[in-house]
A and B are shown apart, each in its own frame.
Chain A
């Protein structure tokens, strides 16, 4: 037995069991020979998929894991926890159950993902040694006989080993144990050798003298971008994800990933986007190799621009969109499109900034407030029931007398979306106070039937 999933474990099967014993436990067991080569290949394929979607530095961590260096790439997914959640979700959608963790080092992340017990754990920077201390020694990536002999001596947790003097440990178990421990707590570096598909388009430059100044990096980014764009042009594609990997003299890699809304093959724009991220590169003692890679590409055919003498062409803003998206994050840059719903908070949805124009508009016959409060705020009112606007109301501790009012505009619950809204009703009023300030208030309910709502009043928006 080499692997056991949740169903197999429920049936009492364990990894390492002889096949005959397993057959005795489960009557109709189908036995397949293990194929480590095919497993490794599948893992490699999965790593390539992650390379395209998540981060520039990805490698298989045999026999059952993938290691990702996510520094410089998490901004495209809205931060580390969000990125980890997306990753696990995406894998779950194709039927792969994954456990993931983010930590300072490969070793710590390896141990936390396998033995941490908490889904989607993100270790704080500098806390790797603390976080792994309570994990079993099996998380150290050591050969099984070594782990067994550690257990015999009573070392159960990684923390026990960290507290021991190193010399006797090295004498007893060899140098491998100390190396793995140091790699886990980040005392020695462990470079990741990233997977590279054969067809990938990349530009690479090795320097005779290591470089470090921001201006020098910017200059070489420009040269690499030109080179990369030539490569892209030969294949007739444009880049959607561009990775810059800087190999430092101390054999650590610094990676930067940028994303674009449309396929990009313009060296100048590419340089501009990458130069924006130079400050996140730590050159350390110097960079000796810089690689610029187009991780995700899409076909980009040369396009003929139709010139028109009559009207001016709409200026192209995709360059600006890319620049801003790499700065504030893709999901924070959007357009708002109408949704056919009378409930104000559902009347709008976010669409990507470069989505084609919808041409849709909201029905414009009722005035709408320019500010809509994220949550309607309860107000105290004096109002005649059932269909009069309030005569006065108190909001945020200030009492306002209503001078003029319009309404009610009745909004019915969307019963086809949620069952409790079958009877729900909101009556919206536009009210104006003495000072001329205009507010949008509503009553939850129709003023008569308690089934339609709580009959309490709320303030939902502010008119200009």
Chain B
């Protein structure tokens, strides 16, 4: 889809109305044309709040979602603040997604409220590359605060949504002020010619995107620099963006 000049002009006008003195927004591209072309500006907006959740069992453990967030954080500069309530994150796996242990500061808080407060402080500080917080409930007010805090400094904020029970995951349908909303679920790994587990694959769904359309992608998980990859058998395949799943999630 080629952006039309009239629509672009309108977007710029809305942008001016929304934020009077905001610095020009920079983005963090994924480095995959299929995804970047779907996101306004050609990548994840820095200085904004993004939501990531797991699909299926991932709503509880958030394993793939955590790696997805770690991959994004590893491509930013300087330190990363990771706010948690449950200390079950395994740091060697984050290092394998490109996030070296020297860069991550963990803040272990007792409840969701403190996690949100820590995340907001991290976003307001401005010296961090990314702030990631594992939270279950995220109200409109709380997410708006986080979004404003992120806009002020240009730090990327990632709310890693993780629930206690699978039934509570319906909360993910509630509106928040986040700029994008992603769902990452595990898919069978890339087949190998020999027995064994290949590179993990994810179904990455862009459920909501401000000033953009939703879409979904089948990707290979983060490598040790935090970059995702399009599976080799799909790179030259017939336009996978038009495949059947899109209407289901859009």
Contacts and interface: CB of A to CB of B under 8 A. Distances in A.
Contact of A432 (B79, B104, B105, B197): B197
A461 interface: yes
Interface string A353-384: 10001111110100111111110000000000
A335 interface: yes
Interface residues of B, number: 59
B102 interface: yes
Contacts of A122: none
Given A344-B90, A404-B197, A336 B63 contact: no
A345 to B, nearest CB: 9
Contacts of B231: none
A337 to B, nearest CB: 6
Using C-beta atoms within 8 Å of the partner chain, give the interface range for chain A.
35 or more
A328 B114 CA distance: 8
Contacts of B186: 435-438, 463-464
A462 interface: yes
Contact of A370 (B56, B66, B81, B100): B66
B197 A370 contact: no
B118 A435 contact: no
Contacts of B100: 361
B101 A404 contact: no
A443 interface: no
A376 B43 CA distance: 39
Contacts of B250: none
B203 to A, nearest CB: 9
Interface in B217-242: 221, 224
Contacts of B79: 315, 317
A140 B206 CA distance: 70
Interface stretch (B7-15, B124-132, B170-178, B208-216): B124-132
Contact of B93 (A370, A432, A434): A370
A314 B127 CA distance: 8
B134 to A, nearest CB: 11
Contacts of B94: 370
Interface in B48-73: 56-57, 61-68, 70
Q: Which of B91, B95, B106 has the most CB of A within 10 A?
A: B91
B200 to A, nearest CB: 6
Interface in B72-127: 77-79, 81, 87-97, 100-102, 104-110, 114, 117-118, 121-122, 125-127
A347 interface: yes
Interface of A: 312, 314-317, 319-321, 323-324, 327-328, 332-338, 344, 347-348, 353, 357-362, 364, 367-374, 403-406, 430-432, 434-438, 461-464
The list of the 7 closest CB pairs from A to B, nearest first, reads: A315-B127, A464-B64, A464-B67, A372-B90, A436-B188, A370-B93, A368-B92
Given A328-B118, A464-B184, 6 more contacts: A320-B125, A364-B92, A370-B64, A404-B189, A405-B197, A437-B57
